A and B are shown apart, each in its own frame.
Chain A
Amino acid sequence: MDRLISTYILAQTDSQEQAEAAIQDIVKDVGTNPAKLLQLVQGLGEYLTSDEAFVRSKATALLSTTLATLDQSKVNASAVNVLVEFYCDRLTDQACVPELLKGLLALSKFDKFTGVDCVKATKAILSLVNVQTYQQTARHYVFLFFDSAIRNYTQSLRSISSDFVFGFIQCLDGEKDPRNLMLAFTLIKNIIQEFDIAQHVEDLFEVTFCYFPITFRPPPDDPYGITSEHLKVGLRDCLSATPYFAKFALPLLLEKLSSSSGSAKKDSMETIAACAPVYGSSALTPYAEELWSGLQNEARDELEQVALHTLQVITTELSMGVSMGGSNDPVEKFLRPIITDCMTQLQKPELKLAKPSGKILKACAMASDPACTAITLATIPTLLSQYNTSEQSTRKKALLDVLLDFLDASRVLYGSAGSKEPEHDTDFVTPLLTFKDRFFEIFTNALMSSNEYNALRLAGVKGLHGMILLREFLSETEISYAVQYFVRIVLEDPDIELQETALNSLASLSLIMPEVVRNMALPAFFEMLPTSQNDMEVDTVIQKKSPEYILNAVTKIGLEPTLFADIVPQILEKIDLVSTDFTGASSTYPVALLTTLLVVLRAKAELGHTDLAQYLDNLVPRLLAMCIYPTLTTNDADHIMKNPEILDVVAGITRVVMIHVDAAAQNEFVKAIFNIFVHGQLSVLTAFKENVSPVPFQPLHFESRISQQNTSVLFSTVIDGCRQQTILPVNSIHEFTGSLVEVAIKTSNITQRTALSKAVATILNKFNKGNVLQAFIGQELVPKLHSMIHYEQASFEARESALIMYTWITKAMVLSTNAIGYDMTGELMNIFSVPRLGKIAADGFNLVIGEQRDVLTKETFAVLRLLYKQRFFNYSIPVLVRGFENSTHEVRHNFLIALSHVLRNIPKQVLLTELPPLLPMLVHSLSFPDPELKSSTIETFQIITKDAPGLMAEHLATLTPLLISLTNSQDLANTMKVRIAALKCLGAQPKSLPFTALRPYKAQVLKELEKSLDDRKRLVRREAVECRSQWFTLSGSIGSA
């Protein structure tokens, strides 16, 4: 031990490591055996009393460090006591103070440290240490010690309360370090709460407020992470900790409010808002006038929101004061000048300064019931009479905007209609109730006045909506009138903005008052839908809304479960009508009808509605029956429900409903579906439509009727919607899958082929758990398809079908990161050189790695392994690059197409890290006359511009002329899409690349793009304007920002 001590003490600054090692050893030694503490103290004895300050300090440091690290539970009470005594006495030794403070801090955390020790140490520090003369770390120890003391020994410290507070103030006086300040602010707050500060209020206030406003700006790469916001909040908490500060703080805060610095103003307002509730009404009252005059300018400027909030808090607080009634009531006194000022501005409500006045009144009215009542009674009658005498629409509109503010304030204060929890005091009613009839009349008139300024009518809609939303405001009759007005606007008004606002109002009402919407809105909407072919024709003559428009409106208001339940049968009824009575009608209307159901179902699913499952039992089978029966008639005549577009929508509905039921329900459903589609047994459907027909239903055959084959999309949707644990009712999955593959290749019906390919892909992806199908896929299916693709004697169609099936299976395997998938991908690249099939294989890459909207998705329970895209990317990119290099010109095209598909579908981070070696290939892509390839490549370049500007800057010399040449509209290969993409890409450069890199090109780009300003297409011109604007503003200051 002694040896270690002397090594440590005698170590020179240059053998710091040695000292470190020694200290480690000692600490370890004593740490595990506190009995040795005595030994340590004895060993240190001579050094602690050495004449050299340096040695004493070093020895103290060793002892303090040991204390801070050892297991304190083994140190007994008397030892602690002695140590405290020792440390306190030594505090006179200035050279050792920082180390001593560290030791005291360590001791203060000991279990055996007592309140008496605490008081002793505190006194010693306060009397012996002149805190502000020491460095930051030492000061930090002091504050940490106080923190620990206040936390654990408040009771004991209270005995020296006054001295402690006074001493603390002295310690703090002059502190500048943000780390210490953060700590000090917490301490101040605690002291205010725990100790009697009455004697020292002014001192404490001064030592605190001197930091206001905080102007601290953290240095760059600040390791401590203290922001000016942290300090502001810390200081604000202190200032708002006690009402004693009120009389000192308010005049000073008001003064800072008129400061020229925006941040100081903001800080003042936020601090006033934080302090107001603590200082209380009586403290605020004397300053009421000054507060208003200070805040009013801000409320009309950038800091509007902060100022309004502050006004609101002050008003709330003043309202809490004891009300004397009459003119001396503090809140009324405060509000009087506000009301007068605002009303003066509102005499010309259409001017710029009027709007903030409305907001100010709103903020104050929102504060409390008395404030709201006072403001309402003082302003509304004037505003109303002003409205009556106004002729100008802009003025009327501006006045309505003010009334809307009042409705808003009322809703916040007195509660909204339809809210579940009664969070508002129901004893109070809004003072607006007195004016209800006038409001209703005014808003209604504004809305009904056709040929008026649109904004005025819009305010009318918003006003009625705002009134409906107030709790216990409008009567049921009034609400239903308002809803009828909205309906009329939606159905009859030509203005889009009005329609939308009214529709949105109906949509929001449909959720809180479904009853009214069901009775008033829905019937009116459905009545407008055509019921016969005649209706459709008449519609175009008189200017009625199209059925599509009305159905779109229905999708917005039909989400609520009871409303949706109401809509479903009505839509089905219309479809029945269309399919029987409309002869030779186009499919637009029935498609729109069904899409309505689909859109609402999807929106409901998004909102987590639970009523979706029930539609699997009635809606879905009924739709299936409607689609299947028409394919069974003897003559197979034209029928609306055979339309592929209709089938797609029905598939979408089936899918969204089916993925929201559990596995048990799915099993039932899938069994029924297999009975229908595989076995042709329609008995399950007869409940919905009685129709026994002579023609068998064989949708999964390659020789059956086309109309039946088309319904296979419904079948494949159901397979796609299956959960992984759902059981497919077949004897052998691989035999069944094999039969589907067979049909898909033999059929000449593309719809059927695609549907079956999807079904096969989904089965292989989802039901290959534990690799049960691995052998079948690897040894049977893939080799078979492979030889069909390459069998040159076969017809092109057969080879193409095999290739498409092959691509789909590749996708299924890649998603589940099955090793077979990568082999198949490599095989796809081999096909690039096969004439005609090559391009199809290259485009197949989009299918393989691109996300499909309607199949093999996460929400339909497909097996999607983590990072499957990255793994595909890592595998395929090197192979693609090699293939590109070793190919002839024509085949290269296919490699570039495949590459562009991969790049487009890869996550951006992966893309950016792997890009540099690919750039030459990408540049090459721009010289192929393939518009799709070009625009896709330009899009990649645009991503690079934004996210890897450095990389882009390196290639500007090649790319800029190339991009400019792509904006040339004379070249037929530069389609509109290519030209727009090129302009967008060029336009993105000034925002991302450094000025120095772009400067050489500025003149050239601006000059060349002048031609694009005269492009024949408006959309291109628009992009050219944007692009040139970016380049015009490119200059040293902006470009580098």
Chain B
Amino acid sequence: MTTLINQNPIIYEASANNSTREWREDEDLEDSVDLIDAQEIFDLIRSISDPEHPLSLEQLNVTQRDHIQVSDENNSVLVEFTPTIPHCSMATLIGLCIRVRLLRCLPARFKVDISVRKGTHQSEHAVNKQLNDKERVAAALENSHLLEVVNQCLATATSGGVVANIVKGPAIAN
């Protein structure tokens, strides 16, 4: 058995596959515009798998909705994540997974910044620099082995699925 960097991480409750978004009527309306918000970004990245454990980033508390800032009008997104331990060598890889996921799932007009949350990693500056350097990210993805690892972590990622159910009274089955 290979040794894991963090053998025994803390597990948090995750809201399964359900988005915690509350259903609003205008989501079903043809013409209203749904802006891209923090919840939507969170739903995109929460179910990414950790490279080390068969657990999601949400379960490990690596990503949290409150640590995402979005402005649809200004086309900007800032995602901050928290490595499970300060010396986690996987931090860059996790960041890369988030980067690739958003690269694939967000319209190109957005400028996406990804960084380690302040004070949660010993070499946070270096990690941030790598993650936000376009050329280094592109170079990393040229590496087919690395790309495969990233794809594996993203394989579990769903787009946030079901909207939280709102009880509207006794429902008639079928």
Report B-chain residues with C-beta under 8 Å of the C-beta of A975. 30
**Residues B171 and A599 in contact, CB atoms below 8 Å apart:** yes
Question: Shortest Cβ distance from B101 into chain A, in angstroms?
Answer: 9
CB of A352 closer than 8 Å to a CB of B: yes
Contact with B along A1023-1034 (1 / 0, CB 8 A): 101101100110
Within 8 A of B (CB), among A523-555: 546-549, 551-552, 554-555
Residue of A nearest to B161 (CB): A1022
Given that A352-B9, A454-B13, A1018-B40 are contacting pairs, would A551 and B104 also be in contact in the complex, using a CB cutoff of 8 Å?
no
Q: Looking at the complex, which one of A555, A1013, A1014 makes contact with B170 (CB distance below 8 Å)? A: A555
**Residues A1033 and B173 in contact, CB atoms below 8 Å apart:** no
Report B-chain residues with C-beta under 8 Å of the C-beta of A394. 10, 12
CB of A351 closer than 8 Å to a CB of B: yes
Question: Shortest Cβ distance from A503 into chain B, in angstroms?
Answer: 10
**Residues B169 and A1033 in contact, CB atoms below 8 Å apart:** no
Stretch of B91-99, B129-137, B151-159 with 4 or more beta carbons under 8 angstroms from chain A: B151-159
Cα(A1003)–Cα(B67), bound, Å: 34
Contact with A along B2-23 (1 / 0, CB 8 A): 0000011111110000000000
Question: Shortest Cβ distance from B35 into chain A, in angstroms?
Answer: 9
Residue of B nearest to A1028 (CB): B104
Q: Looking at the complex, which one of B11, B36, B170, B172 makes contact with A548 (CB distance below 8 Å)? A: B170
Contact with B along A982-1009 (1 / 0, CB 8 A): 0000000000000000000000000000
Within 8 A of B (CB), among A566-609: 588, 591-592, 595-596, 598-599, 602-603
**Residues A596 and B170 in contact, CB atoms below 8 Å apart:** yes
Report A-chain residues with C-beta under 8 Å of the C-beta of B27. 1017-1019
CB of A882 closer than 8 Å to a CB of B: no
**Residues A552 and B167 in contact, CB atoms below 8 Å apart:** yes
Report A-chain residues with C-beta under 8 Å of the C-beta of B159. 1021-1023, 1025-1026
Cα(A592)–Cα(B12), bound, Å: 38
CB of A350 closer than 8 Å to a CB of B: yes
Report A-chain residues with C-beta under 8 Å of the C-beta of B12. 394
Cα(A1014)–Cα(B109), bound, Å: 9
Residue of B nearest to A1011 (CB): B107
Cα(A903)–Cα(B106), bound, Å: 36
Cα(A496)–Cα(B174), bound, Å: 23
**Residues A599 and B155 in contact, CB atoms below 8 Å apart:** no
Report B-chain residues with C-beta under 8 Å of the C-beta of A548. 167-170
CB of B108 closer than 8 Å to a CB of A: yes
Chain A CB within 10 A, most for which of B8, B40, B157, B165: B8
Report B-chain residues with C-beta under 8 Å of the C-beta of A34. none
**Residues A1013 and B169 in contact, CB atoms below 8 Å apart:** no
Within 8 A of B (CB), among A435-460: 454-455
CB of B83 closer than 8 Å to a CB of A: no
Question: Shortest Cβ distance from A959 into chain B, in angstroms?
Answer: 24
**Residues A1029 and B171 in contact, CB atoms below 8 Å apart:** no
**Residues A1013 and B168 in contact, CB atoms below 8 Å apart:** no
Given that A352-B11, A1033-B155 are contacting pairs, would A552 and B172 also be in contact in the complex, using a CB cutoff of 8 Å?
no
Question: Shortest Cβ distance from A500 into chain B, in angstroms?
Answer: 9
**Residues A1010 and B170 in contact, CB atoms below 8 Å apart:** no
Report A-chain residues with C-beta under 8 Å of the C-beta of B40. 1018, 1021
Within 8 A of A (CB), among B8-64: 8-13, 27-28, 30, 32-34, 36, 40, 44, 53, 55
Report B-chain residues with C-beta under 8 Å of the C-beta of A252. none
Cα(A610)–Cα(B165), bound, Å: 33
Report A-chain residues with C-beta under 8 Å of the C-beta of B10. 350-352, 394
**Residues A1013 and B172 in contact, CB atoms below 8 Å apart:** no
Given that A552-B171, A555-B170, A1026-B158 are contacting pairs, would A1017 and B107 also be in contact in the complex, using a CB cutoff of 8 Å?
no
Report B-chain residues with C-beta under 8 Å of the C-beta of A1017. 27, 30, 34
Report B-chain residues with C-beta under 8 Å of the C-beta of A350. 10-11
Report B-chain residues with C-beta under 8 Å of the C-beta of A1021. 34, 36, 40, 159
Cα(A454)–Cα(B34), bound, Å: 30
Residue of B nearest to A395 (CB): B10
Cα(A1014)–Cα(B34), bound, Å: 10
Given that A551-B170, A592-B169, A975-B30 are contacting pairs, would A1013 and B106 also be in contact in the complex, using a CB cutoff of 8 Å?
yes
**Residues A552 and B165 in contact, CB atoms below 8 Å apart:** no
**Residues A1016 and B106 in contact, CB atoms below 8 Å apart:** no
Question: Shortest Cβ distance from B155 into chain A, in angstroms?
Answer: 7
**Residues A552 and B169 in contact, CB atoms below 8 Å apart:** yes
Report B-chain residues with C-beta under 8 Å of the C-beta of A213. none
Residue of B nearest to A1026 (CB): B159
Cα(A1029)–Cα(B155), bound, Å: 8
Question: Shortest Cβ distance from A688 into chain B, in angstroms?
Answer: 24
Question: Shortest Cβ distance from A839 into chain B, in angstroms?
Answer: 22
CB of A853 closer than 8 Å to a CB of B: yes
**Residues A352 and B30 in contact, CB atoms below 8 Å apart:** no
Report A-chain residues with C-beta under 8 Å of the C-beta of B88. none
**Residues A1016 and B158 in contact, CB atoms below 8 Å apart:** no
**Residues A602 and B173 in contact, CB atoms below 8 Å apart:** yes
CB of B105 closer than 8 Å to a CB of A: yes
Question: Shortest Cβ distance from A978 into chain B, in angstroms?
Answer: 11
Cα(A473)–Cα(B74), bound, Å: 62
Contact with B along A119-160 (1 / 0, CB 8 A): 000000000000000000000000000000000000000000
Chain B CB within 10 A, most for which of A555, A975, A1022: A1022
Cα(A552)–Cα(B159), bound, Å: 30
CB of B140 closer than 8 Å to a CB of A: no
Question: Shortest Cβ distance from A96 into chain B, in angstroms?
Answer: 58
Report A-chain residues with C-beta under 8 Å of the C-beta of B109. 1014
Cα(A294)–Cα(B27), bound, Å: 55
Q: Looking at the complex, which one of A455, A496, A1019 makes contact with B13 (CB distance below 8 Å)? A: A455
Report A-chain residues with C-beta under 8 Å of the C-beta of B165. 496
**Residues B107 and A551 in contact, CB atoms below 8 Å apart:** no
CB of B85 closer than 8 Å to a CB of A: no
Given that A351-B9, A1017-B34, A1018-B27 are contacting pairs, would A551 and B169 also be in contact in the complex, using a CB cutoff of 8 Å?
yes
Question: Shortest Cβ distance from B135 into chain A, in angstroms?
Answer: 21
Cα(A602)–Cα(B173), bound, Å: 8
Cα(A1033)–Cα(B9), bound, Å: 29
Report B-chain residues with C-beta under 8 Å of the C-beta of A454. 13
Report A-chain residues with C-beta under 8 Å of the C-beta of B160. 1022
Within 8 A of B (CB), among A342-392: 348, 350-353, 355
Cα(A768)–Cα(B14), bound, Å: 59
CB of A415 closer than 8 Å to a CB of B: no
Question: Shortest Cβ distance from B46 into chain A, in angstroms?
Answer: 13
Given that A351-B8, A351-B9, A352-B9 are contacting pairs, would A1010 and B171 also be in contact in the complex, using a CB cutoff of 8 Å?
no
Given that A1016-B33, A1016-B34 are contacting pairs, would A588 and B11 also be in contact in the complex, using a CB cutoff of 8 Å?
no
Report A-chain residues with C-beta under 8 Å of the C-beta of B28. 976
**Residues A496 and B164 in contact, CB atoms below 8 Å apart:** yes
Question: Shortest Cβ distance from A593 into chain B, in angstroms?
Answer: 9
CB of A630 closer than 8 Å to a CB of B: no
CB of A514 closer than 8 Å to a CB of B: no
Cα(A598)–Cα(B109), bound, Å: 52
Report B-chain residues with C-beta under 8 Å of the C-beta of A602. 172-173
Report B-chain residues with C-beta under 8 Å of the C-beta of A1016. 32-34
Question: Shortest Cβ distance from B146 into chain A, in angstroms?
Answer: 15
Residue of A nearest to B109 (CB): A1014
Residue of A nearest to B157 (CB): A1029
Residues of B within 8 A of A (CB): 7-13, 27-28, 30, 32-34, 36, 40, 44, 53, 55, 104-109, 151, 154-155, 157-160, 164-165, 167-174
10 shortest A-B CB distances, which residue pairs?
Answer: A548-B169, A1014-B107, A1018-B34, A1025-B159, A351-B8, A455-B13, A592-B169, A1022-B159, A1016-B33, A1025-B105
6 further contact pairs, Cβ within 8 A, besides A351-B9, A652-B172: A455-B13, A547-B169, A598-B170, A1013-B107, A1014-B107, A1025-B44
Can you list 29 residue pairs at the A/B interface with Cβ under 8 Å? A350-B11, A351-B8, A351-B10, A352-B11, A353-B7, A455-B13, A496-B164, A496-B165, A548-B168, A548-B169, A549-B167, A552-B167, A599-B173, A603-B173, A976-B28, A976-B30, A1010-B107, A1013-B105, A1013-B106, A1013-B107, A1018-B27, A1019-B27, A1021-B36, A1021-B159, A1022-B160, A1025-B104, A1029-B157, A1032-B104, A1032-B151
